[in-house]
């Protein structure tokens, strides 16, 4: 599975580039002041967090149920132009999650994400993902 294959993500045009997720500015994604709509930035950030899970956990645990449990986002400045989002999970947090999954068959991982536009951070988000091994 790829994040870019999900219907909503196709609607807004998310594209994968290595560990990052890109979004090209399009007229139908703009808000009343001409910048990218807050919900689009949220979708980009969530897509980047899900992409991180696919790359770092679902390859180890392909029979997992993964659901978003909680999300927070801070908008720092208007986003005009193409944007990029990248997850920023510490190695320690990832290893703790893996250990917990192996021991308890379920875990929660918080995935911080930075959203960039024209080299500036336009939003910071965190997504708590609930994972359960399907055995």
- pLDDT tens by residue, 67-124: 999 999 999 999 999 999 999 999 999 999 999 999 999 999 999 999 999 999 999 9
- The domains found in the chain, sorted by start residue, are 3-133 (3.10.129.10)
Q: Residue 76's pLDDT is what?
A: 97
Q: Residue 113's pLDDT is what?
A: 98
Q: Residue 135's pLDDT is what?
A: 67
Asked whether 66 and 106 are in contact (CB, 8 A), the reply is: no
pLDDT-above-90 percentage for the chain: 93
**DSSP secondary structure string for all residues of 56-102:** IIITT-SSEEEEEEEEEEEE-S---S-EEEEE---HHHHHHHHHHHH
């Amino acid at each position: 599975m790829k994040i870019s294959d999900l219907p909503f993500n196709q609607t807004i045009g998310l594209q994968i580039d290595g560990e990052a997720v890109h979004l090209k500015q399009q007229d139908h994604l703009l808000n009343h002041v001409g910048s990218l709509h807050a919900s689009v930035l949220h979708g980009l950030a969530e897509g980047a967090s899900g992409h991180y899970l696919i790359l770092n956990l679902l390859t180890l645990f392909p029979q997992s149920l993964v659901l978003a449990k909680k999300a927070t986002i801070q908008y720092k400045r208007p986003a005009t132009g193409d944007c990029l989002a990248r997850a920023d999970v510490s190695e320690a947090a990832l290893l703790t999650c893996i250990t917990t999954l192996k021991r308890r068959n379920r875990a929660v991982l918080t995935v911080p994400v930075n959203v960039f536009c024209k080299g500036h951070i336009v939003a910071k988000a965190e997504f708590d993902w609930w994972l359960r091994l399907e055995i």
